[in-house]
Amino acid sequence: MAIVAALSSAVSKPPSEIVPNAINQKVAPVIRLEEISKVYDTGGGISVHALREISLDFRAGESVALMGSSGSGKSTLMNLLGCLDRPSSGKFWLDAIEVDKLSRDQRADLRNARIGFIFQNFNLLSRTSALENVEMPMLYHRASISAGAMRKRALEALDRVGLADRASHHPNALSGGQQQRVAIARALVNQPRILLADEPTGNLDSRTSLDVLALFQELINDGLTVILVTHEPELCPFLQRTLILKDGRILRDSRRDKVGSAAEARAALGEDV
C-alpha cells in the first residue's frame, strides 16, 4: 500500500526528522480508567459483557490507535471516553473529575467543554457553509458566546486546518479531505483537551489520509490527546500507542519511542497516488 511505502521512506530519515514521543509520564493523566466494566441487559436474563475490568491512563499529547474486531468493545469504550454512556462498574476520571458520578446533563457539559469528536462520514450539515458547521458546537456551549466571537473562533479553527479560504463553501463544494478538515475544525472550536476520532481516514485516499495524520501530529505536539479508532494497521506507526481490544479486554497495549512523520511520508508519495 502507498502509505506503507511512504512510511519506509519516512522512517529512513535521520532521527531529527521523526516525531518524538514527548509524553511526560510524571504528569497526571487526562483520562484515567480503573477497573471499568460495561454490561448490557438484552432481556430474558441475558447479559452482554462489553467491557471487562479495563484500567487505562491517557496523557496530554498522547496519540492512540484503538483497534479490535467487531464485538471487541472498542465502540463501547469510545462511548464511555466520550461521556456518552456510563460504566456499569469502576471509576472514570477526566481531568480529575469523577465522570461516573455525574448526571447526564453534567456529562453533556463536560463533553462539550473538553472533548472533540471526528467521524468517518464527516457528519457535516449539507445546507450550511463550512463556517456555520464549525460554529455549531458553540451553540450548545453552556457559556454564552456572542455571534461575533463565534465567527472569530470558527474562522481561527478553519485557519488552523488550512481552510480559512473555504469558509463560505458548502460541503458539496469541498473534497473529501477538505470535508474532514472542516470536521476537525469543528471538533477543535471549543478548545477541547481530547479528540476522539472514529475511522477518520476510512473514506480517504492514502495521500489525504497522511495529510490528516500530519495535522493530528501537529495538534498532538500542541498537547492534545488524540484517540483514534481504526481498522488500518498501516496507520499505527504514525501514532505513539496502539491498544488492541478483544472480548471486552485489553489484548495488547504497546508504545513507540519514535513515531513516523506523516508529513515526511506524505511528501514521499508526491502528487500522483
Dist. CA 244–CA 248, nearest whole Å: 10
Element (H, E) at 47: strand 46-58
Dist. CA 23–CA 63, nearest whole Å: 10
Mean pLDDT of the residues in the chain: 88
232: pLDDT strictly greater than 60: yes
Per-residue pLDDT of 38-48, as tens digits, reads 999 887 778 89
Dist. CA 226–CA 44, nearest whole Å: 39
Sheet of 89-94: strands edge to edge? 46-58, 31-43, 89-94, 97-98
Q: According to DSSP H, which parts of 55-103 are helical? A: 74-81
Angle at the Cα of 137 from the Cα atoms of 181 and 238, rounded to 5 degrees? 35
How many other C-beta atoms are found inside a 10 Å radius of the C-beta of residue 207? 18
Residue 15 pLDDT level (bands cut at 50, 70, 90)? very low
Per-residue pLDDT of 153-205, as tens digits, reads 999 999 999 999 999 999 999 999 999 999 999 999 999 999 999 999 888 89
Distances (CA, A) of 84 to 81, 100, 269: 8, 11, 38
Going by C-beta distance under 8 Å and a sequence separation of 6 or more, which residues neighbour residue 39? 47, 48, 49, 50, 88
Phi/psi of residue 199, nearest 5 degrees: 50, 55
28: pLDDT strictly greater than 80: no
Q: Does domain 2-11+60-86+102-269 have CATH number 3.30.1330.30?
A: no
> According to the model, what pLDDT value does residue 2 have?
55
Domain residue extents for the chain: 2-11+60-86+102-269
Angle at the Cα of 74 from the Cα atoms of 69 and 78, rounded to 5 degrees? 155
SS3 133: helix
Per-state percent for the chain, helix, strand, coil, to nearest 5: 40, 25, 35
8: pLDDT strictly greater than 80: no
11 vs 200, residue with greater confidence: 200
- Flag the least confident range among 106-120, 139-153, 196-210, 246-260: 139-153
Per-residue pLDDT of 40-90, as tens digits, reads 988 777 889 999 999 999 999 999 999 999 999 999 999 999 999 999 999
